[in-house]
Structure 1
Amino acid sequence: MVVLALGFEGSANKIGIGVVGSDGSILSNPRRTYITPPGQGFLPRETALHHQEHILSVLEAALTEANVTPADIACLCYTKGPGMGAPLQSVAIVVRILAQIWKKPIVAVNHCVAHIEMGRVVTGAKDPVVLYVSGGNTQVIAYSNGKYRIFGETIDIAVGNCLDRFARVLKISNDPSPGYNIEQLAKKGRKLVELPYVVKGMDVSFSGLLSYAETTAAELLEKGNYTPEDLCFSLQETVFAMLVEITERAMAHCNKQDVLIVGGVGCNERLQEMMRIMVGERDGCLYATDDRYCVDNGAMIAYTGLLAFQKGITTPISESKCTQRFRTDDVWAVWRESEEEDMGQK
């Protein structure tokens, strides 16, 4: 019998709700994105108001598309964190209300782990090194002894934040996303601007690179030596090379051949191309998805919450809170215990 879960995601500028089955089937996954004018980012208060305005219509769309009723749902799953405080809290409040009205158990989900599990079920990746790249997170992760361990990460800002902030400098549109629009411009770039390349062991740093790009962009454009397309091309080539380097180092450390890219920046075709070349040279496979599952969505929360729910894990309503800081390696991935035994790790 297939068990169904309803998942709520609202940690950043997207409000998404999905219905997912225990067999990995995704019955619905609608979402709405808060888009700000060019040159502006999204602030917590305005983002929360956007989620409050759209959450009920997205919920209705999710149930209608999946052709289910609340009675068919086994549990309600929500993003506990990490993310922006006000948007997270807005969604959690709705989940708590629905849980009491519908008399359903709640499962709190780690946003980062949800990206990983959605990537695994969609691509079929078994035990890869994971590169998690988004607006708020940049981590190289591998599963070991019950948890997703972080082997490398950014020591300052996330790669998605770096791209977004550079897009503001060039007044690049935020529709559908600044990262996507940078990618399209970068495809037309021809001249490489040398930018700071900062890799420290297994970690990366983007703040210095961003500062340099911000301060030199106007000067280079004014002189006419470079185009916005060249600058976007140069930024992508530099930051993605850094990410490929630390991912390869993690592969060697963990003795794993395959890589899974998750998170919103993981949609970038150039990042996938660069990673595919590196992984291919190590006789491995690259697993990646498109924007349906890379970008924040409710289905990933529903599926990951359902994995925990089937192991008897629920969250009492008195503890159904949010936290902006919820580390990937804080979660015991109990649903992977049987896999661990099969891999001979126990």
Structure 2
Amino acid sequence: MKKMIALGFEGSANKIGVGVVTLDGSILSNPRHTYVTPPGQGFLPRETAQHHLLHILPLIKSALKTAQITPNDIDCLCYTKGPGMGAPLQVAAVVVRVLSQLWKKPIVAVNHCVAHIEMGRVVTGADDPVVLYVSGGNTQVIAYSEGRYRIFGETIDIAVGNCLDRFARALTLSNDPSPGYNIEQLAKKGEKFIDLPYVVKGMDGSFSGILSYLEATAEEKLKNNECTPADLCYSLQETVFPMLVEITERAMAHCDKKDVLIVGGVGCNERLQEMMRIMCSERGGRLFATDDRYCIDNGAMIAYTGLLAYANGMSTLLEESTFTQRFRTDEVLTIWREKMESSNGLMEKGV
């Protein structure tokens, strides 16, 4: 019996990725390319979209060649509908529309956040964890309940990844491979802890005040030799990561769950994983996390999540294959999880 295969496109931020995945979660190929700006600079929508346009066709060819498939083998085409930056999102949406008509294949629009969760679940084997989703654009504490991924806590201003990225710019750290990674490496050399604002409000966190405080005081502290850039990176991590652990633990208690899955680009950070692992073990649970192949935005996560939806009867009409910068995680009806829960319930009853 032929396995169902999906081709997925991710382009919501500074990475353009194309992935080929089967329904059992086998990743046949997953190439991507990152738009890297000079130190001290962020990535703007227009220039990022131009980067994606330049690289998307070679990535498609590479993905098909590595997976050893042709367009005839593909069951559906999946793309990131949102959330993300408008111009970069538009690139994948347009390419999917064109390929759908050329290859006569159905389209499946995918929520970027849900795709991170499903990729994390299939790669790690996590069943029903509390999910900490941390990236440059999102910070959410999520758990599945009654057909949807519900948001139990989140940032009330900027994402934790955005906080890290912008501070890296203030220090003019390299953006290659990513500003967050370079902060992590520099933080390992830090020796002095600098007190920073710690802002947790119930189930939510706030990161803009921490960034503002650092931007206002870092230059003076460095000038007066009160600390080093490594000390500041170390202090930033040792402040924002405990905030994330706190709101995650609160959600675990509320949902009565023991396991945690970390997804999103910031989820690659080994110090964050270490802190979360300690908390989980103290509660008798486990931490599930992945490396940069799957934590960071990639096409495979879009292909896999779209294929789950397609296998359960969901698809997107050509005229509705649009994109949106704002697309909440809890807007998605995860019909595949509903069916899994139903079948598990029947098995428990011996049906």
TM-score, structure 1 as length reference: 0.99
Which residue number corresponds to residue 270 of structure 1?
271
Which residue number corresponds to residue 324 of structure 2?
323
Which residue number corresponds to residue 155 of structure 2?
154
Distance apart, 1:343 and its partner CA: 5.7
RMSD: 1.1
Q: Distance in 2 between matches of 1:342 and 1:206?
A: 41
Distance apart, 1:338 and its partner CA: 3.0
Report Cα offsets for 1:179-224 as digits up to 9, x if no partner.
0000000011011000000000000000001000111111111111
Which residue number corresponds to residue 291 of structure 2?
290
Q: Say if 2:136 is the partner of 1:135.
A: yes
Q: Distance in 1 between matches of 2:254 and 2:73?
A: 45
Q: Distance in 2 between matches of 1:288 and 1:156?
A: 25
Q: Distance in 2 between matches of 1:343 and 1:154?
A: 34
Q: Counterparts in 2 of 1:221-236, with a 5 A limit?
A: 221-236=222-237
Distance apart, 1:2 and its partner CA: 1.0
Q: % of aligned pairs identical?
A: 76
Q: Kindly tell me: are residues 343 and 197 of structure 1, through their superposed partners in 2, closer, same or farther at Cα, counting changes over 3 Å? A: farther
Residue 228 of structure 2 aligns with an amino acid whose one-letter code is: T
Residue 65 of structure 2 aligns with an amino acid whose one-letter code is: T
Q: Distance in 1 between matches of 2:345 and 2:152?
A: 21
Distance apart, 1:339 and its partner CA: 2.8
Q: Distance in 1 between matches of 2:238 and 2:81?
A: 34
Distance apart, 1:341 and its partner CA: 2.9
Q: Distance in 2 between matches of 1:344 and 1:260?
A: 23
Q: Distance in 2 between matches of 1:48 and 1:339?
A: 37
Secondary structure of the residue that 1:175 maps to in structure 2? coil
Secondary structure of the residue that 1:214 maps to in structure 2? helix
Q: Counterparts in 2 of 1:35-50, with a 5 A limit?
A: 35-50=36-51
Q: Distance in 1 between matches of 2:23 and 2:32?
A: 21
Q: Counterparts in 2 of 1:47-58, with a 5 A limit?
A: 47-58=48-59
Which residue number corresponds to residue 108 of structure 2?
107
Q: Distance in 2 between matches of 1:269 and 1:2?
A: 35
Which residue number corresponds to residue 238 of structure 2?
237
Which residue number corresponds to residue 126 of structure 2?
125
Which residue number corresponds to residue 221 of structure 2?
220
Distance apart, 1:337 and its partner CA: 1.5
Secondary structure of the residue that 1:17 maps to in structure 2? strand
Q: Distance in 1 between matches of 2:143 and 2:161?
A: 21
Q: Distance in 2 between matches of 1:8 and 1:227?
A: 41
Secondary structure of the residue that 1:190 maps to in structure 2? coil
Which residue number corresponds to residue 68 of structure 1?
69
Q: Distance in 2 between matches of 1:21 and 1:339?
A: 18
Q: Say if 2:256 is the partner of 1:255.
A: yes
Q: Distance in 1 between matches of 2:287 and 2:3?
A: 30
Q: Distance in 1 between matches of 2:225 and 2:290?
A: 37
Q: Distance in 1 between matches of 2:196 and 2:183?
A: 16
Q: Distance in 2 between matches of 1:252 and 1:204?
A: 17
Which residue number corresponds to residue 314 of structure 2?
313
Mean alpha-carbon deviation: is it higher for 116-125 or for 334-343? Answer: 334-343
Which residue number corresponds to residue 171 of structure 2?
170
